[in-house]
A and B are shown apart, each in its own frame.
Chain A
């Protein structure tokens, strides 16, 4: 059981970290609470189902293609629906909900409400210390770690990363310094949706695909970014691991755990929030008290 907790906890933690880091990025750079974030994740999973299973493309083509398409859709949504009304934060919030609903309904119409599955990219498993770990899990954890390191490098070492971080710190000043904040936000959106898409294509073989699969991860991602501190990448990463392990432990150790897993994860988030109102690694910015 301990080994199960370890494997599933790491696996879920990795996926949640991908989602939460992306969510945090776009919140930081553009102050958008993107409730459609996990809907992009779902669309990516369905895209890989369509290109890989229905069109029978090789995974090496199908996977990058899916990621690319979903990222482009994300940038399109940003430019058409969010950028023009950015000052009306509440309207943007509802627009993201509406976008998520549109994705859900489109998928429901195109693919139907049945449960779908995607075959694994790699089959087989290894047996270290009596643990049965399938290669798909290892691949997912590996890809996720690589992507997160890549994002960290982009943020810390490139000009774009400096631009994103500065517009996250103070959008107005970044604008005054001659940066095109709208384009920076669009680039961040691409990065953020791209991360969600990578997570989506990686877990497509592990999860069951259905048009409502975006709701549960959304609640957890929101809990994670709040727990870790909004806009903090490190916080999102740590929060994802914490909540994933709590969730998995509850499922494996408690009776009725499947019903209570989200409830207990959220209760722990609330307790931490009462002690630290800005989350584990968050800071209140002076202008946004």
Chain B
């Protein structure tokens, strides 16, 4: 009985006081309970893909938003893992729960290989140099069509799970867990160093911190999460194709994250879960689909350049001027230090 009371008090004092936390919790519960309401294959498919892409977008946010190592070639990690997963599954017949982690490890190795030459590059130089890697790999894939399947890609991969609803839960639960881990990483001691590297790398180095180690760590971590999403995506669509390495794939992650709100992790997730289903709904508009999509992105960013989650958060919450704790905008005094909020 006492535990239930404690739990209720925790919910009231820590979750219900902040509207953004309420939105987050409602979103998670809704995602987990959705199959009770509808078993529609199409809706589950769209949301599962959105969940997989959310991991991808969040991994870009981890590397580029938090550490400031802006990567324009994030599809590299996604594609390497997708192809590794597909080849292991097709040629050796290994099941998804082995191939996806190996694919993610391959992406980590690639993250190291890319990270080392890019350590000296900064800002736009780094971004545009990383753009080169997936395009180079795509050239290799087209030159060896026998092994990589060329333009058509590798198809005939086993499903993630036998039932669509199982696939949905695998994707959604993995997304929630991995994004939570990423969020915690950015909140940890390592995360503080990541922030500091973004703000002023030289100052961090002057404080006796080995920035090279942390930048490589960021590349590896980001590669790992992007790799998992690439492997999941391959097993979900049952195909690994060159489009997974395309420039557009890299930019999709950037569009989602910046649309949702950069350097937040939850912004990346929100961006995917808003934009990806929107793009699907727009299929009704046939040839105007991409035009409407681009106009939505254009206009929303023009009005809310910091991203949609940051914009909404600042509208419904305020920071206490004295103790810097966030408060609902309706409160007249701070919920912690009782400072006047008006």
Interface, chain A (partner B; CB < 8 A): 27, 33, 80-81, 84-85, 87-88, 90-95, 97-99, 101-102, 104-106, 108-109, 215, 218-219, 222-223, 225-226, 230, 256, 259-260, 262-264, 266-267, 269-270, 273-274, 277-279, 282, 284, 288-289
Stretch at the interface among B79-87, B100-108, B132-140: B132-140
> Quick check: A263 and B124 within 8 Å, CB to CB?
no
With A91-B306, A108-B287, A219-B135 given, name 8 new contacts (CB 8 A).
Answer: A84-B302, A93-B258, A97-B255, A101-B291, A105-B294, A259-B143, A262-B135, A263-B138
**A124 smallest CB distance to B (angstroms):** 37
**B124 smallest CB distance to A (angstroms):** 6
Q: How many A-B residue pairs have C-beta atoms within 8 angstroms? Tell me.
A: 125
B332 within 8 A of A: no
> Quick check: A81 and B298 within 8 Å, CB to CB?
yes
CB<8 Å pairs between A and B, sample of 23: A27-B124, A93-B254, A94-B255, A97-B254, A98-B294, A99-B294, A105-B290, A106-B291, A108-B287, A108-B290, A109-B287, A109-B288, A109-B291, A218-B247, A219-B131, A219-B135, A223-B132, A230-B125, A256-B142, A262-B136, A270-B132, A284-B122, A289-B202
Chain B positions 226-285 with a Cβ under 8 Å from a chain A Cβ: 247, 251, 254-255, 258-259, 262
- Known A88-B305, A99-B298, A106-B291; contact A219-B123, beta-carbon cutoff 8 A: no
B33 within 8 A of A: no
B120 within 8 A of A: yes
B117 within 8 A of A: yes
> Quick check: A102 and B301 within 8 Å, CB to CB?
no
Residue from B139, B202, B302, B306 in contact with A262 in the complex, judged by beta carbons closer than 8 Å = B139
**B72 smallest CB distance to A (angstroms):** 8
> Quick check: B136 and A85 within 8 Å, CB to CB?
no
- Known A219-B247, A226-B125; contact A85-B295, beta-carbon cutoff 8 A: no
Residue of B nearest to A27 (CB): B124
Residue of B nearest to A258 (CB): B142
List the A side residues contacting B117 at CB < 8 Å.
270, 273-274
